[in-house]
A and B are shown apart, each in its own frame.
Chain A
């Protein structure tokens, strides 16, 4: 049985003096949909290119199934990659584009034609088979690129920001289609994106990368609920989590600017290590009468189902971002009370690790 399990052991990559991947260990189960996410320059694309063999490893090992592929050329790794730029062969029709890998592998004409047709049917591009890439729209080109990948029944699919060249509506649609494709074929997929919404909606597990190091690997909901560090907490969630510099002692957090917050339910040992408080915009209770913090709305955004406010809290050095789904609206200049939901907020130590 061809196995789509992918294992990375101590994988490192340097370009000259610059280390871009600094020791990555990761196990991806057969059939899993894993998303690599992180800010630009975090090494997510490089890592993907190393898995498919387009970049050599500086050290470490990569296994696909039971095979050590670390020193194999990309052509022998039985993986398929979909590029951001589609990378369709301009001189070939869609039919020949999709069938290229099969022809190279030496399949006979009939088999190639049959498989190409199957793939085209799955992606609903049968009517485009005799066109050339230059006569296709962006979305159609993307489908052809995906068709070219699935037709070879690879051990795993690698996607390098495949949707970032599409417009917003098409992106949402393609996202759904990719997910249902994964449901159907149940092949391992690794998907690189800088878009955390894409990551959250598509992934079985998300790998958050920063500066060539894995920050956390977890299911989307877990990343949101239990970020292991300040970076992940800030990266996942939109708008971003509010971070407030703090010092703690004996169950009370002294916040920058003079305000304090009581944490009765955590140990004073933990509390004493606190360096930062993190509260997501959606984890505030709003009131006009009373609460923990008094402030003034600096800016309000009405989105219909939800509202976003920027609030200047008295005694706090920074503006607090708030998301509200209540019925009431506040206007710029309104006085407002904010109560951070203490249970839902996070406390980080000086190294950025989550304490609570």
Chain B
């Protein structure tokens, strides 16, 4: 009895310690959004005044265009990535192609390249196109970078659609495209939501390509955050506010998508 309770205390103690270690920085940063630079660094810590939105307001009024840049690039590339990945994955799974496995592997292999290896060539290409200072360049780059991954994830869930469903639709007169649109997509909504979530989070948090391909006006939020570390001074309060804002969209997106990630969509389609 005593042993058990001691064990429990140790376990809970450890769990608590781990929780504090992981949560503390987030709490510090989040509370920093309601403090000045000096208050953030003071010891013992000052309690944040959660009613004081002046730091957040001040940050937003100056930096809202960059948040919009981030949203534009992220939502745009997520949309195009899913839009392109589904037909590609559908084709790779359902069409009898020569070397289809090779093509699929090759597509994935492009994802193995480190982004830094592509950054400079991409810069040269977009510079040549006169697009370096345009968020569209980043949108295209993110779409291209995430496409292989999105195709692979999509292939996995499209393979799970019962073959007979696709065959039934085809015999009923549906073209491949109609079969994909009316049968495969609705049945795979949960898989599509999963793919979109991954792509969204990746694009939203991406830093390296954004650093290379954006100019002063077209920066995304991660680039902006990094700019608060100046040569002479670190703007902690701004970093805290920006980080807090940076955390919000992925959380909203995941919750929104979770609704669609329901299991058993295909129940009743074929004999279980």
Whether A90 contacts B269 by the Cβ 8 Å rule is yes
Contact B173 A104 (CB under 8 A): yes
Given contacts A81-B168, A83-B164, contact A132 B268 (CB under 8 A): yes
Q: Is the CB of A90 within 8 A of B265?
A: yes
Would A73 and B170 be within 8 Å (CB), given that A91-B186, A91-B265 are in contact?
yes
* A148 pairs with B269, CB closer than 8 A: no
* B227 part of interface (Cβ distance < 8 Å): no
Whether the Cβ atoms of B172 and A101 lie closer than 8 Å is: yes
Query: Roughly how many angstroms separate A83 CA and B169 CA in the complex, as a whole number?
Result: 12
Q: Select A87's contact among B173, B182, B265, B270, beta carbons within 8 Å.
A: B270
Residues of A close to B267: CB separation below 8 A: 90, 134
> Interface stretch among A135-143, A248-256, A264-272?
A135-143
Residue pair B174, A104 in contact (C-beta under 8 Å): yes
Shortest CB distance B194–A (Å): 17
Taking CB atoms, residues of chain B closer than 8 Å to A100 are: 169, 172, 174, 182
Chain A residues within an 8 Å CB radius of B264: 134
A78 to B, closest residue via Cβ: B173
Q: 1/0 contact trace for B243-258 toward A, CB 8 Å?
A: 0000000000000000
**Interface centre among B162, B168, B178, B187, by most A CB within 10 Å?**
B168
A105 at the interface (CB under 8 A from B): yes
- CB closest chain-B residue, reference A56: B96
Instruction: Say yes or no for A79: interface residue by CB 8 A criterion.
Output: yes
| B268 contacts A136, C-beta separation under 8 Å | yes
Contact A104 B167 (CB under 8 A): no
Contact residues, B150-187 vs A (CB, 8 A): 162, 164-165, 167-175, 178, 182-183, 186-187
User: B214-272: which have CB < 8 Å to A?
Assistant: 264-271
Find out whether the CB atom of B187 lies under 8 angstroms from the CB atom of A79.
no
Q: Do residues B187 and A105 form an inter-chain contact, with CB atoms below 8 A?
A: no
Asked if A116 CB lies within 8 Å of chain B CBs, one says no
Q: Which of B187, B266, B271 has the most CB of A within 10 A?
A: B271
Report yes or no: A90 in contact with B167, Cβ–Cβ below 8 A: no
**C-alpha gap A81/B172 in the complex (Å):** 8
A80's contact among B164, B167, B172, B174, by CB below 8 Å, is which? Answer: B172
Q: Which residues of B contact A75 (CB under 8 A)?
A: 170-175
Which single member of A79, A135, A165 contacts B268 (CB below 8 Å)?
Answer: A135
Q: Is the CB of B268 within 8 A of A54?
A: no
Question: Are A152's CB and B162's CB within 8 A?
Answer: no
Contacts of B175 in A (CB 8 A): 73, 75
Min CB distance A92 to B, Å, is 8
| Complex: A168 Cα to B271 Cα, angstroms | 16
Contact of A104 among B164, B172, B269 (CB under 8 A): B172
Q: What A residues does B266 contact at CB under 8 A?
A: 90
B183 closest partner in A (C-beta): A89
Residue contact A152 to B173, C-beta cutoff 8 Å:
yes
The reply to whether B165 and A74 form a contact with Cβ atoms under 8 Å apart is no
Q: Chain A: which residue is nearest B174 at the CB level?
A: A104
Task: Tell me the smallest distance from the CB of A112 to a CB of chain B, in Å.
Answer: 13
Indicate if A53 sits at the interface (CB-CB under 8 A): yes
In whole Å, how far is A36's beta carbon from the nearest beta carbon of chain B? 17
| Chain B proximity mask over A67-111: 1 for CB below 8 Å, otherwise 0 | 000000111110111011111111100000000110011000000
Contact B171 A52 (CB under 8 A): yes
B173 touches A89 (CB 8 A): no
Contact between A87 and B174, CB atoms less than 8 A apart = no
- Give the residues in chain B near A54, CB-CB below 8 Å: 167, 170-171
Question: How far is B162's CA from A80's CA once the two chains are assembled, in angstroms?
Answer: 18
Q: Is A133 engaged at the interface, CB distance under 8 Å to the other chain?
A: yes
Tell me which residues across on chain A come within 8 A of B271, comparing CB atoms.
84-86, 138, 165
User: Taking each of B162, B165, B171, B183, which has the highest tally of chain A beta carbons within 10 Å of its own beta carbon?
Assistant: B171
Measured CB to CB, the closest approach of chain A to B98, in angstroms, equals 14
Minimum CB–CB distance for B186 against chain A, Å: 4
B167 A87 Cβ-Cβ under 8 A: yes
Listed A/B pairs (16) with beta-carbon separation below 8 Å: A54-B170, A80-B172, A81-B167, A81-B168, A81-B171, A84-B271, A85-B269, A87-B162, A87-B269, A89-B269, A90-B265, A90-B267, A90-B269, A101-B172, A132-B268, A152-B173
**B residues bordering A, Cβ < 8 Å?**
162, 164-165, 167-175, 178, 182-183, 186-187, 264-271
Q: A83-B168, A132-B268 are in contact. List 13 more A-B contacts (CB 8 A).
A: A53-B170, A54-B171, A75-B173, A79-B171, A83-B164, A86-B270, A87-B167, A87-B270, A88-B269, A100-B174, A101-B172, A134-B268, A152-B172
